[in-house]
Chain A
Amino acid sequence: MSLYEIIRTLLIGYPIPPEMIDPNFPVFIQRIGGLNLTLVVTVLSLLLGTPLGLVLAMTRSGPHGGIGRLPLGEKMGWWALQGPATVIVEVIRGIPIMILVLLTFYLPYRLFRLRVPPIILATVALSLYSGVYLSEIFRSGFRAVDERWVDAAHTLGLGKWQVLLKIKLPITLRAMLPALLGLVITIFKDSSVLMVVGVPELTFSARQIQVAEPVSYALVLGLVLLIYWSLATTGSVLCNRLEKVCSKHLSE
């Protein structure tokens, strides 16, 4: 196997055997492999994790000004929401990602007799994982906005949307960005645990090459390392730029 072929296999994976494709689900998505699969699963799970994280964060943050002064009925309503949200966050945060993946691949059929292609289950598992961590990042972002600044902006005559776009959003974003980037990179790298359930992502493709081809063990690992590292670092650099853009807007 030439170096070109190794890299190519790492990037797009081995062709998925036709018998492994479930005809009841979109076919093209089941043909993805290698780095492509890692990226697709990472991006999808972050996208799907965002609404989940937002809902969890908003529930856990409570209303503007805190729960304390609300009438009893509303108070109990918030508690009824916050309880389950906290449980979801604490349960998923307390499970190692590999166990979460194994459970996601086991429970849907065991409980509901649902048979779903691996890539969808992989996305679900990582969405749950990223959603929970995103919710904590969002919460810290919400907290970064000092209510006095919002009041000041209102006094200066800024409208509701202007406050949101010019004050709240930049401050929140700037506060969240480093943690957010950390999470993106974590999800990108941790998606390698999908290997234990046979999802042909980058690390699994590397193992398949090592099993079948007379190539150097270190070479394949080195290439995998290079791919993970270069993409993570690129993301890091891009994010630093973004951070500067956000700050610039704020200091104007």
Chain B
Amino acid sequence: MKNLAVVLVTAIVFLVIGILVSPKKNAIRYPASVVQSTFEVVKKQGRVIIGIGQEAAPFGYMENGKLVGFDVDIVRAMVKKLEKYAAKEIKIEFRPVSDETRISWVQSGQIHMSLCHTNNTRKRDANIDFTVPYGWDAKGVLYNVSKGKNRNLTDFAGKVIGIKRSSSSEGEIQAYFKNKGWDEVTLKAYDSHIAGIQALVDDQIDGFTDDNSIIINTAMRAGHKVGPNEVLAVTATPYSPAFFGVGVPENDSDWRDVLNYSLHDLWNSGEFLEIYQKWFGPDSMCPVPLGSNRMEPYVEG
């Protein structure tokens, strides 16, 4: 009898936690008009709490004891523009986020925004909102040149590909291979990019994939040469593009607007390009030409 009671109570505890935590389907979760907009909260408190990734170069990582990266520079510049709209000084408070927590913590509201090289996918958009993309990349497969030069995506049909856990690459690469009618790839998840790249170097997997800039940067920083005729190389054609957006709470239009305006302002003032060139320009470790990518246009007036 007692054991049964314990089982029952345990089940009830989980049920209650589940009900308290579960987001309500088909309901507006954070109606900005009813609940205070995050922007109001940020204005009132004079601080903005930002989730920031710290383990993926060139977006956010430690260099000479300092947190640096594209995401870090962009968000610092964004908050400067944000101060104009808030008409007061806003203090930045960083919270470290990982690939596992960058979405859920925005959802719970414990961070006001998150920049962690987050690719704007529809699955994620169901849980949080994104600003206009502030970064563009492509996803190819990193491979060992000694096993074959100039390989294409077709060469990886039926092979074992490493991915970073909690990245969006998993669904994308499988969908791409399925659409092409190629043999499915076997995916192997790694806790960090560097662990996956090391496994690739050690020939445990046939390829490793994530955003090109991250895998190339991580491999080069670890001392591996990357290029078509070097030790490691990335397939010339990608299987998916990547658009990095700032994660913001769902249905908080005011907050998302003001962050979009800040990004627009950065683009118009030229500061955005300056930061972009610093991290992805021709002199950077892994150049990603801007090409036809533009900050989403808008009309003044």
Residues of A within 8 A of B (CB): 14-15, 17, 19-20, 22, 79, 83-84, 86-87, 90-91, 94, 102, 105-107, 109-111, 113, 115, 118, 195-200, 204, 207-217
Q: Which residue of B lies closest to A79 (CB)?
A: B2
Q: Which of A19, A79, A91 contacts B94 (CB 8 A)?
A: A19
B92 interfacial contact with A, CB 8 Å: yes
Once A107-B21, A199-B96 are accepted as A-B contacts, the answer to whether A217 and B54 lie under 8 Å apart by CB is: no
3 tightest Cβ-Cβ pairs between the two chains A and B: A198-B96, A109-B110, A19-B94
Return 13 A-B CB contacts under 8 Å, by A number.
A17-B66, A83-B6, A87-B9, A87-B13, A90-B6, A109-B109, A118-B95, A211-B56, A211-B57, A211-B221, A212-B61, A212-B63, A212-B221
- Given contacts A87-B6, A198-B97, is CB(A210)–CB(B67) below 8 Å? no
The complex places the Cα of A215 from the Cα of B193 at a distance, in Å, of 15
Q: Is the CB of A19 within 8 A of B55?
A: no
> Contacts A107-B21, A109-B110 hold; do A208 and B223 have CB atoms under 8 A apart?
no
Please report the C-alpha to C-alpha distance between residue A196 and residue B96 in the assembled complex, in whole angstroms: 10
Which of B100-108, B269-277, B290-298 lies at the binding interface? B100-108
From the candidates A84, A106, A115, A208, name the one contacting B55 in the complex (CB within 8 A).
A208
A14 to B20, CA, bound (A): 37
Cα distance A118–B199 in the bound complex, in angstroms: 31
CB A23 to nearest CB in B, in angstroms, measures 9
Where the two chains meet, the residues of B that have a C-beta atom closer than 8 Å to any C-beta of A are: 2, 5-6, 9-10, 13-14, 17, 20-21, 49, 54-57, 61-63, 65-67, 92-98, 100-101, 104-105, 108-110, 191-195, 198, 218, 221-223
B51 nearest CB neighbor, chain A only: A198
CA distance A11 to B246 in the complex (A): 33
CA distance A195 to B222 in the complex (A): 20
Query: When chains A and B are docked, how far (Å) is the Cα of A26 from the Cα of B100?
Result: 27
Residue of B20, B55, B109 ringed by the most chain A CB atoms within 10 A: B55
B98 touches A196 (CB 8 A): yes
Which residues of B are found within 8 Å of A17, using beta-carbon distances?
66-67, 94
**Beta-carbon contact of A207 and B192 below 8 Å:** yes
A200 and B96 in contact, given A91-B10, A115-B49 (Cβ under 8 angstroms): yes
- Tell me how far the C-beta of B131 lies from the nearest C-beta in chain A, rounded to whole angstroms: 20
> Which B residues touch A115, using CB under 8 A?
49, 110
**Could you say which residues of chain B place their CB within 8 Å of the CB of A204?**
55
Among B65, B94, B109, B198, which residue has its beta carbon within 8 angstroms of that of A217? B198
Contact between A211 and B218 (Cβ–Cβ < 8 Å)?
A: yes
Chain A residues lying within 8 Å of B94, measured Cβ to Cβ, are 17, 19-20
Q: B192 contacts which chain A residues (CB < 8 A)?
A: 207, 210-211
Partner of A212, one of B57, B96, B97, B101: B57
Interface centre among A199, A212, A213 (most CB of B within 10 A): A212
In the complex, residue of chain A having the shortest beta-carbon distance to the beta carbon of B116: A198
Smallest distance from the beta carbon of A132 to chain B beta carbons, Å?
13
Which residues of B lie under 8 Å from residue A102 when comparing CB positions? 100-101
Q: A14–B54 Cα gap in the complex (Å)?
A: 11
Q: In the complex, which residues of chain A have a beta carbon less than 8 angstroms from the beta carbon of B95?
A: 20, 118, 198
Contacts of B10 in A (CB 8 A): 87, 90-91, 94
Nearest CB in chain A: distance from B92 CB, A = 5
Asked if B65 and A15 sit within 8 Å, CB to CB, the answer is: yes
| Contact A217/B222 with A111-B20, A115-B49, A211-B56 known, Cβ cut-off 8 Å | yes
> Is the CB–CB distance between A110 and B21 below 8 Å?
yes
Q: How far is the CA of A109 from the CA of B21 in the complex (A)?
A: 11
Note all chain A residues with C-beta closer than 8 A to B57.
211-212
Q: How far is the CA of A196 from the CA of B9 in the complex (A)?
A: 30
Contacts A17-B67, A20-B94, A86-B6 given; indicate if A211 touches B194 (C-beta within 8 A).
yes
| Chain B residues with CB below 8 A from A216, complex form | 223
B98 near A106: Cβ-Cβ < 8 Å: no
Most buried by B among A17, A200, A208: A17
Interchain CA distance A195-B92 in the complex, whole Å: 23
Pairwise interchain contact A207-B55, C-beta atoms closer than 8 A: yes
Max chain B C-beta neighbours (<10 A), residue from A113, A118, A198, A215:
A198
CA distance A115 to B55 in the complex (A): 23
Besides A20-B96, A79-B2, A214-B222, 5 new A-B residue pairs in contact (Cβ under 8 A), listed by A number: A83-B9, A106-B21, A196-B101, A211-B57, A215-B223
